[in-house]
Structure 1
């Protein structure tokens, strides 16, 4: 089954009062980050569902901060964009995600 990669961003990270809810949700989705500092406000989630479904899974239980959450699909185009933020995840995607599953929008 094909999977998709998503960048999940939570405004203000640990300073957001609902960060614990956000963190619990993305950890249940096996989110990964490109650095060793842990998940603060930005992570990558692999899932077989569409962007809207992943957004709802990440936002589950958020009361006031649902508007602080964004989910963006990572594709081959966004990874190779010179001005895109997804370049930060290139090593993580190539070494962790690509060898373990089929991501048709990234390959």
Structure 2
């Protein structure tokens, strides 16, 4: 029974992803953090239907990631909780910082 539910859930998520990436987003309005210069690289987001979000780099408009409402909510909550805080490279590699 659990296996069938897992397959059903996977199929639903695949459908949601396919539908999300099939959306024409050529006319969306992109938003970025205030206070950045136009030549600086920054993350831009666009709000899509049903709470979905698209994200891209301001310097690479061709690579766009899309997130369902649930995925975006999980990402934002994780970021607020510090899940994506970066450690200095020396700490990650176990080396000493001079």
TM-score under structure 2 length normalisation: 0.31
- Bigger RCO of structures 1 and 2 (CA < 8 A, at least 6 apart): 1
Which has more radius of gyration?
Answer: 2
